[in-house]
Amino acid sequence: MDLRLTPEQEALRQEVREWLARNLVDASKHGTVAGREWQRRLAEGGWGAPAWPVEHGGRGAGPFESHLIGQELAQAGAPGSIAVIGTGWAGPAIIAHGSEEQQRRFLPPILNGAEIWCQLFSEPDAGSDLAALRTRAERSAGAWRVHGQKIWTSYARESDYGILLARTDPESKRQQGITCFAFPMQQAEGRLEIRPIRQMDGRATFNEVFFDGAEVPDDHVIGEVGGGWAVAITTLMNERTNLSTGLGTLWGDGPTLADLVSLARGTELTPMQRQKVANLHIVSEAIRLTAYRMLSTNGTAASVTKLAADRWGQQVNELAVELLGMDGLLTDDQGGRARAGFAEHGRQGGFPPPIGWQRAFLFAPALTIGGGTTEVQKNILAQRVLGLPRER
């Protein structure tokens, strides 16, 4: 495989760089408002959702070009995007399965950051086995009433809409009888409760969501009533491909390998630690080149990159905390050397705010769970890529 950029790809890279040189100034603020503002600015520049078709405000960029743009943004220290679930997961599902009217209604505000989306899929007894979901929606006078519970919903409190999977046929089993909705997160008092879940890194980026008769208009059904599983598959494939497009160790976000190398340069290393740093560099190159190869194959193979990148991200953060010694026990706000080595490569503002080594280390175990666990990725590879028999 020839990994050199074509003249068109080189020109695209140059275009992103020039745009970033003019627009990255003053993109250092944190929080939801700043996150929406950054997405609006990206959209104005034509970088809001590069993979979307041109008629919906994208650039029609292929997987490699999208990856290239993501890498350039990350390399320049661009803010993390609060709009990622909208642009990366929900938007493509609406483009593939939504009506023209839904596309006109929902896509522009996703693109320009006016409406933020979350993903209402996982439930307490339906994670890897998503088809076991029990949240139900019942038809009622031109609308649907939702009852049940979701969990691990990232950014639920910041979101305007959620892409929701609910069972609309109470008699149905597994993948049948599930419908996908564009669910409005603003609901009448008492119909929706969002409870933040405190994570061990001290933040609360995900939530429990309780529905008690929450209402969704009938025209917010995406795809067919009872045909939600097909929409879910589109969403999950996009989720897997969109995770880890940047340079950071936390799904493309957070500290980078370059940050670790800077930290290592300022630390007295044992021979074993030197070897670990070198090994992580080698693995990082292998993942980068494998990702290029996977981008030109089918979506299922994205599991290869996710598997390798998730464990690598954990190892980088584990080694950083080891190198920090006693300072590794301190969180960002407790002083110490929480952000040692970040000077050159730290990301600017955005949402959620950048974090130091200790919080990154405490978040890293989530990498091999979210977006499909390591075991689930291995099952996908075994069955759909390698064609091995299913367990009996």
Ligand X SMILES: Cc1cc2nc3c(=O)[nH]c(=O)nc-3n(C[C@H](O)[C@H](O)[C@H](O)COP(=O)(O)OP(=O)(O)OC[C@H]3O[C@@H](n4cnc5c(N)ncnc54)[C@H](O)[C@@H]3O)c2cc1C
Of 19 and 121, CB closest to ligand X: 121
Calculate helix-pair angle for 7-23, 32-45, nearest 10 degrees. Answer: 130
Which residue is catalytic, options 239, 318, 344, 375?
239
Q: Which of the stretches 176-184, 310-318, 353-361, 372-380 binds ligand X when contact is defined by CB under 6 A?
A: 372-380
Of 47 and 121, CB closest to ligand X: 121
CA atoms within 13 A on the CB side of 42: 32
Nearest to 228 by CA among 142, 338, 130: 130
Question: Whole-angstrom Cα distance, residue 43 to residue 140?
Answer: 37
How many residues interact with ligand X (rule CB under 6 A)? 18
Question: What SS3 state is found at 153?
Answer: strand
Of 38 and 206, CB closest to ligand X: 206
Q: x/- string (CB under 6 A) for ligand X, residues 124-143?
A: ---xx---------------
138: annotated active-site residue: no
Of 75 and 154, CB closest to ligand X: 154
CA atoms 265, 271, 272, 275: torsion sign: positive
**Residue 260 vs residues 167, 246, 256, 266, 315: alpha-carbon distances, Å:** 46, 16, 7, 10, 11
Q: x/- string (CB under 6 A) for ligand X, residues 156-185?
A: ------------------------------
Pairing of strands 192-197, 178-184: unpaired
* Minimal CB distance residue for ligand X: 127
Question: What SS3 state is found at 175?
Answer: coil
CB of 128 to ligand X, least distance (A): 3
Q: How many CB atoms lie within 10 A of CB 73?
A: 24
Question: What SS3 state is found at 120?
Answer: strand
Under the criterion CB under 6 A, does residue 377 sit at the interface with ligand X?
no
Under the criterion CB under 6 A, does residue 373 sit at the interface with ligand X?
yes
Under the criterion CB under 6 A, does residue 47 sit at the interface with ligand X?
no
Q: Please list every residue from 84 through 123 that binds ligand X, using CB under 6 A.
A: 118-119, 121-122
**Displacement of CA 349 from its chain's centroid (Å):** 17
The tokens of 191 are what? 């119909």
Under the criterion CB under 6 A, does residue 235 sit at the interface with ligand X?
no
Binding site for ligand X (CB under 6 A): 118-119, 121-122, 127-128, 152-154, 206, 366, 369-370, 372-373, 375-376, 379
Q: Which residues are catalytic?
A: 239
